[in-house]
Amino acid sequence: VQEDIASPKKTNDLLKKHHLVLKKSLGQNFLVDPNILQKIVGAADLDATKGVLEIGPGIGALTQQLSKAAGKVIAIEIDQRLLPLLKETLAPYPHATVVHGDILKVELQALFQEHFSEYAQVSVVANLPYYITTPIIMKLLEEKLPLEYIVVMIQKEVASRMSASPGGKEYGSLSIAVQYYCEPEVVTIVPRTVFIPQPNVDSAVMRLKVRSKPAVEVEDEAFFFDVVQASFVQRRKTIFNNLAVRYFTKETKGQLEGILQEAGIEPARRGETLSMEEYARLSRCLALALG
Binding residues: 29, 31, 56, 77, 102, 127
Options 12-20, 43-51, 73-81, 87-95: segment touching ligand SAM (CB under 6 A) = 73-81
> Residue 8 or 254: which CB sits closer to ligand SAM?
8
Q: Which of residues 23-62 bind ligand SAM (CB under 6 A)?
A: 26-31, 55-58, 61-62
User: Is residue 73 close enough to count as binding ligand SAM by CB under 6 A?
Assistant: no
Which one, 78 or 274, has the nearer CB to ligand SAM? 78
With CB under 6 A as the contact rule, which of the stretches 13-21, 22-30, 183-191, 279-287 interacts with ligand SAM?
A: 22-30
Judged by CB under 6 A, the residue of 13, 47, 102, 277 near ligand SAM is: 102
Q: Among residues 30 and 181, whose Cβ is nearest to ligand SAM? A: 30
Q: Find the shortest distance in angstroms from Cβ 193 to ligand SAM.
A: 14
83 vs 186 by CB, closer to ligand SAM:
83
- In terms of C-beta distances under 8 Å and separation of at least 24 residues, what long-range contacts does 239-246 make, across chains too? 239/265, 239/267, 239/268, 239/269, 239/270, 239/271, 239/274, 240/267, 240/268, 242/271, 243/286
CA distances to 20, 61, 87, 177 from 10, rounded to whole Å, are 14, 10, 16, 39
DSSP 131-172: GGHHHHHHHHHHTT---SEEEEEEEHHHHHHHTPPTTSTT-S
Residue 195 φ/ψ, nearest 5 degrees: -115, 155
